A and B are shown apart, each in its own frame.
Chain A
């Protein structure tokens, strides 16, 4: 019991720290793409400390506070279900559908809070976010179906173990198609550029985030860090082979090695998202919905059909 709590704490701290570094990597790499120097890597940590140390704070009622906590809690829960090397806590129950569902719940929490603030921009952003959420479901569902068809199981940990034997998922044609569709969906889940319609800085002020200031925004930064970590981790687990290292004699060395391998894979996933995000402009919401129901859906459906043959 105590050991599980300790593991959970370690996982939480590790995910938060690495997530913040990921946010820093996003800003740094974007700056380098623009030929700028960019902020230091630890910049998001400073931002969060500053936001949490604000002396005055506003609130718009109970739901406004609750939505933020709800989003953070759902992200942490999603993190605990994803197998991360050999450290994970609830990996035996880490169902594909459960994790994809839990990774979308935080959006709903943010929507609750944004809608209860009564700001028209926040309402507009919430509408756009919900439509994006609706649009990404179709390719996401097909990608999950393709995985489940291919491996004959919904358990993420079993999929990782199967990949240890039969090679990475993306080396099979059907799952490569599913991975491409999932990667396009990831762009919307990160809130990166071609599909950052819900946040849309400049276009609709900041969308749902417009009314969050001070401590609420600080908690949302922590939530965003953990969500970045969890989403990249989930992708590298199901498509890039995860990491189960057993070559060393000591379990600590094995854990560190698998965390390192996972980190490299996560950064690779993140880099693809940053590069795509920096060279494409934003879609309008109707274009995004049409796009998601067209190309990624076709690709993922093809993958699902190929996987079941």
Chain B
């Protein structure tokens, strides 16, 4: 079947039903509830906060990103199905903001995951977030919101940057990080049981 004919309808649906994954990093998380509640109601545009990354389209990165959070952000971003968009929200995601000389804050988010729209401010007002979302909708409509394509095409570059920051094989290391702790705990419990017996 030729889907070309349906493309305008699909683009309209993508534009008008952006589901946000509720991943609130840093202080920008406090700007999300006012957007969703009765004063600046974002559900008018069909947006919905969603706790599951598998259903989400829009990823709002709200505030400074530490390397520890960035690992989770990358994993969450890669879990989303494909037409997915990123809005970086606040000054800290643009150039580090007030954490410009912090050893533990990411200065340029764009080097690790692709970003469609930046919203400057510290914190941005809900109106300016809505302005950014409006811009995002325009970009989806005219097809310039292609960050997910960029991530696929330039994956080597993004992966190189991620590996430079975290070291090679960080996913496995991160997953196995808790195993020694759990094993220690198990051993301790075992010892206590032997003592009690």
Residues of A within 8 A of B (CB): 27, 31, 34-40, 43, 46-47, 49-51, 53-58, 201-202, 205-206, 209-214, 217
Q: Knowing A31-B43, A43-B46, A51-B55, say if A36 contacts B38 (CB, 8 Å).
A: yes
The answer to whether B83 and A55 touch across the interface, beta carbons within 8 angstroms, is yes
> With the chains together, A129 CA to B106 CA distance in Å?
41
Residues of B within 8 A of A (CB): 9-10, 12-14, 16-17, 19, 37-38, 41, 43-46, 50-52, 54-55, 57, 80-83
Chain A residue contacts of B9, Cβ below 8 A: 49
Chain A residue contacts of B14, Cβ below 8 A: 50, 53
Q: Knowing A56-B81, A58-B81, say if A46 contacts B54 (CB, 8 Å).
A: no
> With the chains together, A47 CA to B48 CA distance in Å?
10
The answer to whether A50 and B54 touch across the interface, beta carbons within 8 angstroms, is no
Selected from B17, B51, B57, the residue in CB contact (under 8 A) with A202 is: B51
Which A-B residue pairs are the 7 nearest by beta carbons? A213-B54, A56-B82, A49-B13, A55-B82, A36-B41, A214-B81, A50-B13
Q: Knowing A34-B38, A55-B82, A214-B81, say if A206 contacts B52 (CB, 8 Å).
A: yes
Q: Which residue of A lies closest to B56 (CB)?
A: A213
Most buried by A among B14, B45, B51: B51
Chain B residue contacts of A57, Cβ below 8 A: 81
The answer to whether B37 and A205 touch across the interface, beta carbons within 8 angstroms, is no
Chain B residue contacts of A212, Cβ below 8 A: 54-55
The answer to whether B82 and A210 touch across the interface, beta carbons within 8 angstroms, is no
**Closest chain A CB from B105 CB (angstroms):** 28
> With the chains together, A40 CA to B55 CA distance in Å?
20
Selected from A47, A53, A213, the residue in CB contact (under 8 A) with B46 is: A47
Most buried by B among A38, A47, A50, A213: A50
The answer to whether B81 and A54 touch across the interface, beta carbons within 8 angstroms, is yes
The answer to whether B54 and A54 touch across the interface, beta carbons within 8 angstroms, is no
Total residue contacts A-B, CB cutoff 8 A: 85
The answer to whether A53 and B55 touch across the interface, beta carbons within 8 angstroms, is no
Q: Knowing A46-B12, A46-B13, A53-B13, say if A209 contacts B52 (CB, 8 Å).
A: yes
Selected from A35, A201, A205, the residue in CB contact (under 8 A) with B38 is: A35
The answer to whether B82 and A46 touch across the interface, beta carbons within 8 angstroms, is no
**Closest chain B CB from A114 CB (angstroms):** 12
> With the chains together, A40 CA to B44 CA distance in Å?
7
Chain B residue contacts of A47, Cβ below 8 A: 13, 17, 19, 46
> With the chains together, A31 CA to B51 CA distance in Å?
19
> With the chains together, A211 CA to B51 CA distance in Å?
11
Chain B residue contacts of A40, Cβ below 8 A: 46
**Closest chain A CB from B87 CB (angstroms):** 17
The answer to whether B17 and A211 touch across the interface, beta carbons within 8 angstroms, is no
Chain A residue contacts of B19, Cβ below 8 A: 47
Selected from B41, B54, B82, the residue in CB contact (under 8 A) with A37 is: B41
> With the chains together, A211 CA to B82 CA distance in Å?
15
Q: Which residue of B lies closest to A44 (CB)?
A: B17
- Chosen A-B contacts, 6 in total, with CB atoms closer than 8 Å, are A34-B38, A39-B46, A46-B17, A54-B82, A54-B83, A201-B50
The answer to whether A46 and B46 touch across the interface, beta carbons within 8 angstroms, is yes
**Closest chain B CB from A251 CB (angstroms):** 35
Chain B residue contacts of A35, Cβ below 8 A: 38
Most buried by A among B19, B55, B57: B55
Selected from B46, B51, B57, B81, the residue in CB contact (under 8 A) with A206 is: B51
